[in-house]
Amino acid sequence: MPMKLFIALFFISASALVAASTAHSIKVGASTRTYVLHVPKSLSADKDAPLVLAFHGSGDTGAGFEDFVKLSDVADREGFVVAYPEAIGKNWNDGREAVSIASQFNDVDDVAFTEAVIADILKQQAIDARRIFATGFSNGGIFVHLLAAKLPKIFAAIASVSGGIAEPFAPKFKPSAPLSVLIIHGTEDPFVPFNGGDVDYHDNGRIIGTSLTIKMWLTCNGITSAPELGELPDTNQDDHCHATFARWPAAHKGAEVQLITIEGGGHAWPNGPQFLPVSLMGRVCRDFDGSSTVWDFFKKHPKK
């Protein structure tokens, strides 16, 4: 067989093993909303699969976030469905009530949109109702806290990266059911501050601090024990960051809470792109992969 033909057939065969992501449109109220769906070729349409919803940060899109986090690569390897919803005006209504953000000023119902996305996916693919998860970055990370609080019976676990609970939403934070929570945040995040306060320096609303966010989830999950503490291996000393963890094991309600603190880390997805200079966004931690870590947490925490 000629070498060029062999190489061509090899790449055709290899690409057939991995699904292409597809764009979808759905009607939600008076609006047409969109999301990107990735279903690995290894999955049968009639076999229940886990579902991860991944919410982009401010200014991004569903397709852009897929490229940003590379979660579809993890999905192909591990066998789960992942959806990347897209916000109106590229910003989620995450509870900050910021007058500078149209979706928040106009009170866009992104919770109803999320429910509609899940319903639309269920028409195409069998999904395990005990393994529906949500993750998000920045604006998306703030949103998944609100989403989980409003839909705790749908989601088994969430993972928020460089996010926090919106300050105006905090008094309304009363989930009716427990769920497992992973928070990953850098101590030197200049846009979504680790200790709470103004988001992105100016009139973009406020979040509460990470310690209070953890406390609120511990209360929701009925956890009163002290955490297990440790450090992640500092595998890349050139990134000038290192990560510690605190894990609160599940109590009688069956859901645990985990915090990965990136000491010296900026506004970033671990091992993701340095999308702005260090002087603006801070440093990206290279000691672990954010997407793999999020999935490892999810797969250990189906709904009880």
Give the tens place of pLDDT for each residue, 177-225.
Answer: 999 999 999 999 999 999 999 998 768 999 999 999 999 999 999 999 9
Q: What is the pLDDT of residue 278?
A: 93
Length of the chain: 304
pLDDT single digits (tens) 254-301:
999 999 999 999 999 999 999 899 999 999 999 999 999 999 999 999
Q: Enumerate helices (H) and strands (E) in the chain, giving the number of each.
A: 9, 12
CB 62 within 8 A of CB 85: yes
Class of the CATH-defined domain 21-299? alpha beta
Q: pTM to 2 decimals?
A: 0.93
Q: What is the pLDDT of residue 20?
A: 79
Confidence of residue 47 (pLDDT cuts 50, 70, 90): confident
Closest CA to 146 of 170, 125, 123, 176: 170
Q: What is the CA radius of gyration of the chain?
A: 19
Confidence of residue 302 (pLDDT cuts 50, 70, 90): very high
User: What's CA 267's distance to the chain center, in Å?
Assistant: 14
27's tokens? 């009607």
| Mean pLDDT on 82-110 | 96
Strands 180-186 and 157-161: parallel
Closest CA to 269 of 88, 105, 137, 119: 137
Amino acid identity for residue 68 in this structure: F
The set of residues, in sequence order, having a beta carbon less than 8 Å from that of 47 and lying 6+ positions away, is 126
- The chain-wide mean pLDDT, for the chain, equals 92
